[in-house]
Amino acid sequence: MTSVRLPPPALFINRELSWLEFNARVLHEALDPRVPLLERLKFLSIFSTNLDEFYMVRVAGLRRKARQGAAQYPPDGLTPAEQLTSIQNRVRELLALRDRCLHEQLLPALAGHGVRLVRMSELAPAEWMRVDEFFESQVFPILTPLAVDPGHPFPYISNLSLSLAVELRDPAGGEEHFARVKVPRLLSRWVPTGTPNQFVPLEEVIGANLAALFPGMEVLRWFAFRISRYSDLDLGQIDQVEDLLDTVEQQVFRRRFGEVVRLEVQEGMPPALRTLLLEELNDAETQSVSALTEDEVHESGRLLELGDLMALTSLDFPQLKDPPHVPILPSALRDGAGSPPRSIFDVIRERDVLVHHPFHSFDASVERFVEEAAADPNVLAIKLTLYRTSGDTEIVSALADAAQAGKQVAVLVELQARFDEVNNIQWARTLERYGIHVAYGLPGLKTHCKTALVVRRDADGSIRRYCHLGSGNYNSKTARLYTDIGLFTASPSIGADLSDLFNTLTGFSRQRLYRKLLVAPANLRERILTLIERETAHARAGRPARIVAKMNALVDPETIAALYQASQAGVEIDLIVRGICCLRPGIEGVSDRIRVLSIVGRFLEHSRVFRFDNDGAPEYYIGSADWMPRNFDRRVEALVPVEDPALHALLGTLLETCLQDNRQAWELHADGTYRQRHPAAEEGERATHLILQRDPWGRALPSPVTGEMPAVLTGD
């Protein structure tokens, strides 16, 4: 593999600004009248929670780098201070757009269907009495008013909590005072008024009853506010980690007191009150890293914490939602009519099987694989990686049953899965109580690969490995929302590789050589660059050359440089990148053979699929890794080759379906902007997710003239 020379900064898009454009595409779904109304509200909620995480991690990290005078800049050359300025400008534009969308479009449209968020002043007497009774019985007993004066220091404000800043006057002496009241998270944010589908925000219920909290005082006014704190883990700052579980637990506790990186305030908050909040927050010990400035104060409309709007999307208005989606079973795992059910191991032993979630059933494929392994007396061992799992998954129960039955069960639980640390700590302890061998991964690396290995003694007496490798977590909730691909195989070489990988994760090993798997940090970067260079060599020799790569993010500068070189050599490159893309396509003489699409819609695009045409002998890989430095260098990742030509056809049509999308697809342009595709007048809409709901691999494409689907589908 030759060394890759990095292009100049002008050929890179800034990572953080690219992420903001992805979130802008999420917000666009809330603005798009073609999307059902409650789904639009869902996207507005997702936009808001995405932005929270962005500030807690990415902006917080940039603030620290700016304060410390970081000497290393990203490939695009922007300093931390320049990035922060650009972020603040773009975020203000997006927040203004979000608030207009909510108050001028979504809430009026919902009111037309009888769904209303009202103020206390708009309630009829009977509604007021109902809400007042709710306050007295359910809210008032748990509220704690906190005064701020020489005898009462400014209280601790928890991350993302909603609070009321209250201004009071003492009638006896006329002195004015300040107090804080926290809006309880344990109560529903939207308080029913007694009129069907009509709600009052909880903070307004509390605000209307502040006199009960401060008897004898005059309540002058109140405003809601909210803060975001630095919330990444700092394991890299610890010299030696002796007990990873204990260390992560301590770090999760400490981040409750991380520095404040953003202050959100309700519209109309007076400058003096904003200044008071800023001063008090900056006086806190946690702000020793970097003081909060006026630039980091965001004023929204009357509602903060818009992630809570997600609760309203569960209202019973089916006409305002996407039609229900029912996953199907892959044809390879179906039993014939009237025939007894076959063992999933018999199926996998005969041929490799691909599944595409959520279009294929997760519980009838992946969960079935683990459940059968747990119940099968011929299974000797089960090994699994858990990055994020859900409380309702059957996989954990099956693993417990297997351990109780005497099978060897080993699980790698990634404790550092961001914002799932507490959940994973609890799962790790639960699994250990069941007698399962639990490992926490390798120092300095996150285990992000999605792999399961079942060791079985087959009927002929041979020991065989059955494997599942994919792009998605073993999580039944996200399997209904994320698009992910998994491969079941009994390939001896892949099974041997997976055994080596698990031995690395649970024992002591410096394994770097693998037969078929592309594993990070061992060989993934090198192999991806080699595959790109091979296409480049084909193009230079005058042979057809093409790369199609689908992933969540493209950030790695070496890989981008290699793609630029491939384009210049004549390789046709199509990239389907859901989120961050730091490559600039369409630059003459540099990247004019590269096209970049982003698909945003009903399901979260999460699958990674890579095709290298290889002069007519195409190679396909699927797995867990994006093309980012963290995936190549700081995570344990696995890509697996899909070797069956029959499965190549499935992956090929899936990629082409994405590339032909004219409804959900956004094209990236050289200046870093995205433009959504729209069907031409003579075309019908080709929406990827709608097509995949009808055929999980996209083989049933709509007519380019009428947009209608064929009458007969393959049903795979």
Choose among 194, 179, 104, 100: nearest CA to 143: 179
Contact 538, 545 (CB under 8 A): yes
Distances (CA, A) of 513 to 518, 522, 523, 527, 637: 9, 8, 8, 11, 14
Crossing angle, helix 15-31 and helix 37-54, to 10 degrees? 160
CB burial of residue 44 (10 Å; 0-12, 13-18, 19+): buried
Nearest-angstrom CA–CA distance, 165 and 298: 15
- Return all residues near 134 (Cβ < 8 A) that are at least 6 apart: 191, 205
Judge whether 648 counts as a catalytic residue: no
Contact 372, 341 (CB under 8 A): no
Contact 308, 189 (CB under 8 A): yes
**Other C-beta atoms lying within 10 Å of the C-beta of residue 274:** 18
**Other C-beta atoms lying within 10 Å of the C-beta of residue 526:** 13
Contact 457, 380 (CB under 8 A): yes
Choose among 584, 569, 604: nearest CA to 674: 584
Nearest-angstrom CA–CA distance, 352 and 92: 50
Q: What is the DSSP letter of 583?
A: B
Nearest-angstrom CA–CA distance, 367 and 45: 30
Contact 133, 59 (CB under 8 A): no
Can you point out the beta strands (E) in 241-350? 260-265, 297-299
Structure token digits, residue 503: 């031995």
Maximum CA extent, the chain: 93
What is the residue-wise DSSP string for 110-136? HHTTT-EE--GGG--HHHHHHHHHHII
Q: Is 239 helix (H, G, I), strand (E, B) or coil?
A: coil
Q: Which residue has the tokens 């997600």?
A: 310
Q: Is 260 helix (H, G, I), strand (E, B) or coil?
A: strand
Contact 206, 257 (CB under 8 A): no
Structure token digits, residue 206: 């509390």
Annotated catalytic residue within 298, 356, 448, 689: 448
Residue type, 80: P
Choose among 43, 83, 92, 90: nearest CA to 64: 83
To the nearest 10°, the Cα dihedral for 342, 346, 352, 356?
Answer: 30
Q: Which residue has the tokens 């433009």?
A: 675
Containing 654, the helix (H) or strand (E) segment is helix 645-659
Q: Spell out a b/e string for 540-574, using b for 16 or more CB atoms within 10 Å of the CB, else e.
A: eeeeebbbbbbbbbbbbbbbbbbbbbbbbbbbbbb
Nearest-angstrom CA–CA distance, 325 and 358: 9
Q: Is 561 helix (H, G, I), strand (E, B) or coil?
A: helix
* Residue numbers annotated as active site: 448
